[in-house]
Amino acid sequence: MTESQTGTQGVLVVIPARFGSTRFPGKALADLEGRPLIVRVAENAQSIVRADKVIVATDDARIRDAVLDAGHSCEMTGDHSTGTDRIGEVASRHEADIILNLQGDEPLLDNSDVDRLIQAMQDDPGLDMATCAHPFADAASWRDPNNVKVILDGQGQALYFSRAPIPGIFPGADVQAHRRALKHVGIYAFRRTALLRFLALDRTPLEITEGLEQLRALENGMRIKVLEIANAPVGVDTPADLDIVRGLWRQQQES
């Protein structure tokens, strides 16, 4: 990382991490080529050019100790139901104007995409949030409710996020609807004021219906810029995913 490139605006990257995981308990401390997964994520984040500081946020002393022992910054938080709540606690203790929420299970994230998110926020002070998405490979993945879809307006801002296969297809329309949507990637950049406002808002009807936090922002009039990226980062949700990431990690180190 370099010194701040934002004048009076600081950029804080927060990586929320917890020990519990339904499909992979303790995955934050799972070994990835000699170091815990969360440490590899923190290492990777150090190459985000436009970031001023990277902090892991956790409520687990084992994760804290692993991160600190590896020489990275970590802050303890209270018990939170979402990662966004956790980064909000950390952000409240810092003066950064832009806060990035990175996933703690994506050690192979392309940080050039993160730098683009930060730049988008710096270039447009009116933006509340920015996130990423990429094209669907096929119609089958577009129909999968586990894949979140986003529809954009003409300025590249989010109109709506859904688990449903949007947009709908008018009878007789000769279109490939899955090419009209993008698959959302859970990386967020927040304006500090927008993050604190977001966390103070009650959950909204569409957020509850879809199970998507970002709809709370849209339902309250926030602007979310969506940057298109080429590929999704490879995350670790299961032990099988970790084996895949280990193989990719080795390939990356050898190249």
Tokens found for residue 218: 């849209």
Q: Which residues of 38-49 are buried (b: 16+ CB within 10 A; e: fewer)?
A: bbbbbbbbeebe
Residue 25 has pLDDT above 70, yes or no: yes
Instruction: Encode pLDDT of 70-79 as tens digits.
Output: 999 999 998 8
Arithmetic mean of pLDDT, 11-22: 90
Predicted local confidence at residue 9, as pLDDT: 60
**Cα 218–chain centre separation:** 17
Predicted local confidence at residue 8, as pLDDT: 41
Arithmetic mean of pLDDT, 35-40: 96
**Cα 11–chain centre separation:** 15
Predicted local confidence at residue 121, as pLDDT: 96
Q: Which of 82-86, 123-127, 134-138, 196-200 has the lowest mean pLDDT?
A: 82-86
Q: Does domain 1-110 bear CATH number 3.90.550.10? A: yes
Residue 7 has pLDDT above 50, yes or no: no
Domain ranges of the chain: 1-110
Phi, psi of 98 (to 5 degrees): -120, 130
Residue 174 has pLDDT above 80, yes or no: no
Phi, psi of 99 (to 5 degrees): -120, 125
